Amino acid sequence: MIRNLIGAFIGNRIDRRDGRGGVKGAAIDYVAQRVITRMGTPGLLLAGGYGLYRFAKDRRRTRDERV
């Protein structure tokens, strides 16, 4: 269940960056799910840590742009 949510989130974010939509986000979603499953707990922690890192980085960048 968690791998589906993480994979969908990753696919959605990458598809959103492109701006066109399409199959690329779904393909990346599928690959991300398989990679996270194969890596097990370390893969889940790595994906979660990277997500938190990006969140903090984007938040910091937004705060700096406002000043």
pTM here?
0.46
Q: CA 40 to CA 37: how far, in whole Å?
A: 5
Amino acid found at 58: D
Structure tokens at 65: 């742009």
Q: What is the mean pLDDT of each run of 10 residues along the chain (67 residues)?
A: 70 68 70 77 83 88 76
Question: How far is the first Cα of the chain from the last one, in angstroms, to the nearest whole number?
Answer: 40
Neighbours of 24 (CB within 10 A): 14
